[in-house]
Structures are given as structure tokens and as C-alpha cells.
């Protein structure tokens, strides 16, 4: 079996490769489902930083469900590249509480089959995808601003801005 060795491989889409002059000649690798363009890059760390800087970013604020002793609601903050993550994954990755007691034990892990990851979008709903069929089924008697975090894509790879999310809106009084 023959093997190939690269000094510094970089998997990139053709449009990214075309914009960076520091790449060597690309090699196309294909499988049945996916194609990869493998390029060797000079100073690959700097090149990756430049690519990340150009991607639009969504800022998120997560408002806690209950007021603290001083009467203010706790706020957690996070950010993500537009169009790359589900709201649920952002919350889990940043250790932001998503589920009520029942949901912590009985959630489906993001499969869209339990309806326990309900959030309310207070501001920035235009930066999110439309409600999915799963959401329409689980949230048909809920306010239009309520979403399932496991079905909500943050951004569309082109937009940037701020989204304000109320955690556990069913607890809000």
C-alpha cells in the first residue's frame, strides 16, 4: 500500500484556496460523499487566523430564568461564527444551563425528539433559521418567539449581529 506524506497539509475549500497566495499547488482527494482540496501552506497558523477573522460572528446573550437576590437576571455571554452551530451546541459548549430538571435527565441529546430544550428569542430572531417542522410540532401552542435550541441554527454564514436568548422561558413569571 502506498502512502503519501505532506509537510503541512491543510484541508480547505477551493474558494478559500484561491484567495490565499501562500498555498502550493493543491491536490484533490475524493470519496463517494466528499471532496477535499489538500494544500501545503507556508506559515499555516497565520493563514488560518486571517481566514477566521473574516468570518461573520454572532454575539449571544443568555438571560437566566430567575432573578438573583438583587433583582437582576444573570446574563451569560458567548459568540460563534455565523451559520456553523446550533444554539444547543453553543450553550452546551459554554456550559450554559439549558434544561430544567426533567430535561437534564430525559433530553434526547439534540435529536429533536423530546422538546425539552425550549428557549425564547428576545432579540435577533432575524439572525436565526426559520422554525423547523419539528419545532412547529412541539411548539404549536407556544409563543412564536419560543424555539427549540437543538433545531435553531445561529446565523447563515453571511450575517452578523447579536441574539438575546431567555433560558427556560417556561419558568419566567
Domain spans, the chain: 9-53, 57-171
φ, ψ dihedrals at 88, nearest 5°: -60, -45
pLDDT at 170: 85
What are the tens digits of pLDDT across the range 100-146?
988 999 999 999 999 999 999 999 999 999 999 999 999 999 999 99
CA dist 64 and 121 (Å) reads: 13
pLDDT at 52: 53
Q: In terms of CATH, what superfamily is 57-171?
A: Beta-grasp domain (3.10.20.30)
- pLDDT tops 50 at residue 51: no
Cβ atoms of 150 and 111 within 8 Å: the answer is yes
What are the tens digits of pLDDT across the range 87-96?
999 999 999 9
Residue closest to 166 by CA, chosen among 145, 141, 142:
145
The conformational region for residue 157 under phi > 0 = left, psi -120 to 50 = alpha, else beta, is left
pLDDT at 6: 46
Cβ atoms of 77 and 97 within 8 Å: the answer is no
Across the chain, where does the E strand assignment appear? 9-12, 27-30, 35-40, 57-63, 75-81, 85-86, 118-123, 146-148, 153-154, 161-167
CA dist 120 and 125 (Å) reads: 10
CA 107 to chain CA centroid, Å, is 19
Amino acid at each position: 500500500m502506498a502512502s503519501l506524506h505532506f509537510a503541512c497539509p491543510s484541508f480547505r475549500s477551493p474558494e478559500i484556496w484561491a484567495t490565499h497566495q501562500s498555498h502550493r499547488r493543491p491536490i484533490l482527494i475524493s470519496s463517494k460523499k466528499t471532496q477535499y482540496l489538500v494544500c501545503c501552506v507556508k506559515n499555516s497558523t497565520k493563514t488560518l487566523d486571517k481566514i477566521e477573522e473574516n468570518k461573520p460572528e454572532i454575539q449571544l446573550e443568555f438571560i437566566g430564568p430567575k432573578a438573583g437576590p438583587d433583582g437582576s437576571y444573570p446574563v451569560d455571554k458567548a459568540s460563534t461564527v455565523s451559520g456553523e452551530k446550533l444554539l444547543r451546541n453553543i450553550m452546551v459548549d459554554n456550559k450554559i444551563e439549558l434544561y430544567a430538571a426533567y430535561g437534564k435527565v430525559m433530553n434526547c441529546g439534540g435529536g429533536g425528539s423530546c422538546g425539552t430544550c425550549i428557549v425564547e428569542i428576545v432579540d435577533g430572531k432575524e439572525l436565526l433559521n426559520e422554525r423547523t417542522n419539528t419545532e412547529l410540532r412541539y411548539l404549536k401552542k407556544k409563543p412564536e418567539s419560543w424555539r427549540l435550541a437543538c433545531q435553531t441554527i445561529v446565523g447563515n454564514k453571511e450575517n452578523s449581529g447579536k441574539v438575546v436568548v431567555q433560558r427556560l422561558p417556561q419558568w419566567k413569571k
